[in-house]
Structure formats: C-alpha cells, structure tokens
Structure 1
Amino acid sequence: MSPSAQYIKDLCLFIAGVISYITGLTTNLFIVGVSVVDRLIRRPLTPADLLITAIATSRIIFQLNIFVIIFFQEYSAAYSIAFSSIGNFSIYCNIWCSVLLSVFYSLKIGNFHNFLHRCLKLISRRVLLLILGSVLLSIAYTSVLHMRNFMIIPKNSTQEGDGSLAIRLIMDLFLLLWNVLPFLFYAGSSFALLGSLCRHMYRMRREDNVTGRMDAYYKTIKFTIFSFFSFAFYVTINVFGSDFFDHFGSLLMWNCFPLLHSIYIIYMTARLRATFLNILHGLNKCFLPRKCSPSRSKVVAQIN
C-alpha cells in the first residue's frame, strides 16, 4: 500500500473512531445522568438500573482515557503506565458488569425453578457488593497484566528455559482464562434465557394462549442474541484485536460493543427510553413551532 493510501486509510479510521467515541461518550453520559437525576428526586433504582449505571460509568472512563491517549500523545512513562492501567481496568470492569447484568436478566426473566429464583433474590440484595467485587477483580487483573508486561527475562538461555518462559506461559494462560471465563458465564446465562423463553413460547402456542405479549418475548430474544454476539465480538477483539488490526482499527473495533450495546440498553429499558423520548419531544417543541406557525395560522383562518 502506498504512503498516501495508508494515510487516507488511517485518517478515515481516525475520523470514524472519534465520531464513535463521541457518540458513545454522549450515550453513556445520558445513562449515568438519568440515574443521578432519579436519585436526586429520591426515585428508587432497581438492581438492573445499578448494573446499567456501573456499565455506563466504566465505559465513560474507558472513552475518556482513549481521548487522552489520542490527543495528548506526549507524556512520560509514568503517565503511560497510568493511562494503560485505567484503560485495562475499565475494559474488564465493563466485561464483568455486563456478565452480571446478563445473569441478572436471565434469572429474572427466565422461568426457572426455585433455587435459581433464590439466587436472583440474593443477587438483588447484594448487587452493590457484586459491582464492588467486579471492580476489585478488574484491579487485580490490571496488576497481573503489568507484571507480565514488565517482566524481565534473563539473557541466559538456560535460565530463560527453566523459569521465565514457564512463568510467562502461565501468565498468558491466566490472561486468556480471564477473557474466556466471563464469556462462558455470559454464554451460559444467554442460552439459558433463550431456552426458557422459547420453551415458554412453545407452551403458549400449544395451549392456544397466544396474546400480544408475544411481541415482548420476541423483543427480549432479539436483545439477548444481539447482546451475546456483541459481547463475543468484544472479547475476541480484546484477545486477538492487535493481531488483525492496527492502532486506529483496534480502537474503532473496541468501541463497537460499548456503543451499540449502550444504545440498545436505552431502547430496551423503559425508564431510559421514556426519558430520551421526552428530551426529543422537548427539542421538537422548541424548534418546530416556529417553522410550522404560518401554516397553522392559515389552517385556523380557513376553519374560521
């Protein structure tokens, strides 16, 4: 590829990445802002609302961190380590909170037996502790990651073969497990929810009890499938993204799941969707009447 073509490619990826990050930052700020306003007016937040707010907060931290890295590239090694730590922390906090939300929805919506419903009650009462646990796990992972990155391999090949390569292999396996484990939890909860919904829909059709509620089932199934594939794509990019994409391409791909998932969360959550529609309605009332007032006056005159 010629230098000019490479420059155009990097420029397009950079522009697309900046647009996606601005959109994602605005979307997640909206989610957190709605939760803050609800708390200020003493409206209670459900466990799902707390998990959604935690997910949006972790994505805001990640997106702000990326903005700093892109636009302020001249900084010391200490700042580089700090930005890298914040980025890794926000990524895995986002992953584990997304897993918690998937498990919560699976237990809440799925038609399971009493033991899992007791688990749901336990999660509902301990959601803040689970979010705190996700934060601590993400901090622990970030620490292990930096131990791996700054590990000094001895120059002596005998020593390297005896100790350092084994330690590095163990850490690589641990880091791979750290991505595979949340994916397995997410996949298990998603498939369990899909199986429960499909089984319930089949029972309703067999008993000729099909009502308008079927639309809600279809909407939940679409949301679950979309969330699962988005999460799978996000974990894949997190593990193998640097092997297939350059710097700007990785940043753009890295933001696909947070952006699309946050938009879909707003669409699926009644509280967020109603607030967003009210904002749009308020904007329409501010800007549209001035343009429509002449035509409206003509209609009123004709009626009179």
Structure 2
Amino acid sequence: MSASSMATKNQVLSLAAGIFIMSGFLINVFIVAVNISKWKKVRPMSTADKVITSLGISRMVFPVIGLLKVILYLYFCRLSFLFFVSVMFLEFTCMHSSIWLSTLLSVIFCLKISALQNAFCLQLKIFVLNRVSHLIMASVMVSVSYALMFSLLANVDISNNSTQETYNNVLMSLSISSLIFLTTGPFLINFVSSVLLIIYLYHHMSRMKSERNKTSQLDPYYKTIKFTGFSLFCSTVSIIFELTYKQSYAVLGLLGNGFLGQIPPTLHSIYLIYVTAKLRIQVSNMVRFLWRR
C-alpha cells in the first residue's frame, strides 16, 4: 500500500474518530446540563439522577482525553513517557469510574423497582439510597487510586526503558490486574442486579397478563427490561474492550482503538436519553426550536 493511500486512510479514520468522540462528548454534556438545570431550579435531584449526572461527567472527560491522545499522536508521533503516563492515568480513571457508576445505577434501579421484602434487601436498599453521594465519591476514589497506583508503576518502568515492548508489558499488567481487582467485582454486581431486576419484571408482567391488563400498561416494563439488558451489554463490551486493549491496539492501531472504545458508552448515553422522559422532552424541544429557525 502506497504512502498516499495510507495517509488518506489515516485522515478518514481520524475524521471518523473525531466526529464520534465529539458526538459522545456533546451527548453527555446535554445529559449533565439538563440534570444540573433541574437542580438549579431548587428541585431535589433523585438518587438515580445523581448517578446519571456523575456518569455523564466521567463520560464527558473520557472523549476529551481520547481526542487529545489522537491529536497529539498525529502531530507529535514520539510521545514522552510523562505524557503517556498522564493520559493513561486520566483514561483509566474515567473508564473505571464509568464502569463503577454504571454498576451503581444498575443496583439503584434494581432496589427501587423490585419489591424484595427480606430483611437484608430492605437494609441494603436503605443503605444505598441514603448514601448514594458517598457511594459515588467512593467509586471515583477507587478508580483514581487504581489509576494513580499503576500510573506510578508505569512511570518507573517506562522511564527506565522507554521501548515499545515496555509499553506493551505495562498494558498487559494493567489488563491482568484490572481483571482480578477492579473489573470482576463491578461486573458481577452489575450482572446479578440486572438479572434480578429482569426476573422480577418478567414475573410481575406474567401476573399482569394473567389478570388481563392492557398491553399499553406493560410497555414501561418492556422498556425497563430492554434498557437493563442493553446497559448490561454495554458494560460487558466495555470491560471486554479494556481487557483486550493490547490486542485491539495491535490490530486497529491508536485511531481505530480510540474510535472503538467510545462506542459502548456513547450508545448507552443515547439510549439513556431515549428512556428518560425529561431528557427525551428536552431533545424534542431542541429539535422543534431548531426546526422553527
């Protein structure tokens, strides 16, 4: 393949990655802005809205880091180890914050919607719903601690031997440690809460069907099941992508890898807007306003 065709391919991929990254950024800015504007009007923010807002903020920063990494890689091919470590710290912080906050959102939906009546579930519901702000801070702090610890380790390794092999070894060690410590836990919690919620909704819908309720009354349950399943799917894809970062980087390169990594959180944010009434209404108002102009 000629150099000109390779340059054209990189330019097209850069443009596609840039557009998708900025789309993800603007979508999450919209989610955060709507929730904050509601809070500014002295309306109490629900527990789910607090988590959604925090999740939107983490996903706002993540595309900016991806875009910064792509731009600097294109124009400054030889990146210093300090830049590599700094970007890795921010990227891993945002990525793990998104995973933990998505898990927390799944648990909140499960506890609020399902009517589990045993003592443990009731105590867990009271604890989670009353301390959601503390849990959000804990999720962020765990992600920051993880990213800081391994960024410092990577700093030592790369500064002593800044070769491509060292970069790959650092990424591999991060993937293994992430699998053991910070990925399996939130995935299992997310999986269990999502499955319990889907089972509860399915049994509740079966009872409603036996009582010959109208199909329109079942629509909210269908939407909740679809959203729960889609959220679990996006979280699973994000975790798989993180654990196979080295392999995908070798196959797709930095641009393709950056583009692929933005797909699950962006699609989840779009679907979140679709299923949330106030966000959907704001989108409709914006479309009508732009159409009139």
Question: Shared fold by TM > 0.5?
Answer: yes
1:43-62 to structure 2, matched below 5 A, reads: 43-62=43-62
Does the CA-based 8 Å contact 1:108-1:117 persist in structure 2?
Answer: no
1:99-110 to structure 2, matched below 5 A, reads: 99-110=103-114
Distance in 2, Cα, partners of 1:152 & 1:238:
21
Residue 138 of structure 1: CA displacement? 0.5
- 2:189 matched residue in structure 1: 185
- 1:112 matched residue in structure 2: 116
Does the CA-based 8 Å contact 1:237-1:254 persist in structure 2?
Answer: yes
- 2:64 matched residue in structure 1: 64
Are the structure 2 counterparts of residues 50 and 214 from structure 1 closer, same or farther at C-alpha, using a change threshold of 3 Å?
A: same
Distance in 2, Cα, partners of 1:180 & 1:7:
40
Identify the match of residue 290 of structure 2 among 268, 283, 286: 283
Per-residue CA shift, 1:185-230, capped at 9, x if unaligned?
A: 1111111111111111112222333452211111111111111111
- 1:266 matched residue in structure 2: 273
SS at 1:248's partner residue?
A: helix
Distance in 2, Cα, partners of 1:35 & 1:204:
33
Residue 150 of structure 1: CA displacement? 4.1
Residue 137 of structure 1: CA displacement? 0.2
Identify the match of residue 133 of structure 1 among 120, 138, 141: 138
Are the structure 2 counterparts of residues 249 and 198 from structure 1 closer, same or farther at C-alpha, using a change threshold of 3 Å?
A: same
1:71 is aligned with what amino acid?
I
Identify the match of residue 222 of structure 1 among 223, 226, 240: 226
Residue 247 of structure 1: CA displacement? 1.3
Distance in 2, Cα, partners of 1:21 & 1:150:
27
- 2:162 matched residue in structure 1: none
- 1:124 matched residue in structure 2: 129
Gaps of 5+ in 1: 154-164, 288-304
Please state if 1:97 is matched with 2:107.
Answer: no
Does the CA-based 8 Å contact 1:234-1:257 persist in structure 2?
Answer: yes
* Number of residues of Structure 1 aligned to a counterpart in Structure 2: 274
2:179 is aligned with what amino acid?
L
Distance in 2, Cα, partners of 1:103 & 1:149:
33
- 2:165 matched residue in structure 1: none
2:68 is aligned with what amino acid?
V
Residue 9 of structure 1: CA displacement? 3.8
Distance in 2, Cα, partners of 1:38 & 1:190:
28
- 1:176 matched residue in structure 2: 179
SS at 1:45's partner residue?
A: coil
Does the CA-based 8 Å contact 2:238-2:264 persist in structure 1?
Answer: yes
Give the percent of matched residue pairs that are identical in Structure 1 and Structure 2.
31
Are the structure 2 counterparts of residues 72 and 41 from structure 1 closer, same or farther at C-alpha, using a change threshold of 3 Å?
A: same
Distance in 1, Cα, partners of 2:28 & 2:172:
37
- 2:255 matched residue in structure 1: 248
Does the CA-based 8 Å contact 1:242-1:250 persist in structure 2?
Answer: no
Mean CA deviation greater in 135-144 or 96-105: 135-144
Are the structure 2 counterparts of residues 15 and 171 from structure 1 closer, same or farther at C-alpha, using a change threshold of 3 Å?
A: closer
- Kindly report the root-mean-square deviation, in angstroms, between the aligned alpha carbons of the 2 structures: 2.5
SS at 1:42's partner residue?
A: coil
1:179 is aligned with what amino acid?
T
Identify the match of residue 197 of structure 1 among 194, 198, 201: 201
Does the CA-based 8 Å contact 1:112-1:196 persist in structure 2?
Answer: no
Residue 169 of structure 1: CA displacement? 9.8
- 2:216 matched residue in structure 1: 212
Residue 83 of structure 1: CA displacement? 2.2
Residue 170 of structure 1: CA displacement? 8.7
1:273 is aligned with what amino acid?
R
Does the CA-based 8 Å contact 1:197-1:217 persist in structure 2?
Answer: yes
SS at 2:213's partner residue?
A: coil
Distance in 1, Cα, partners of 2:130 & 2:5:
56
Does the CA-based 8 Å contact 1:148-1:171 persist in structure 2?
Answer: no
Question: TM-score scaled to structure 1, two decimals?
Answer: 0.82
1:20-59 to structure 2, matched below 5 A, reads: 20-59=20-59
Distance in 2, Cα, partners of 1:172 & 1:94:
17
Q: Pick the structure with greater CA Rg.
A: 1
Distance in 2, Cα, partners of 1:172 & 1:16:
27
2:253 is aligned with what amino acid?
D
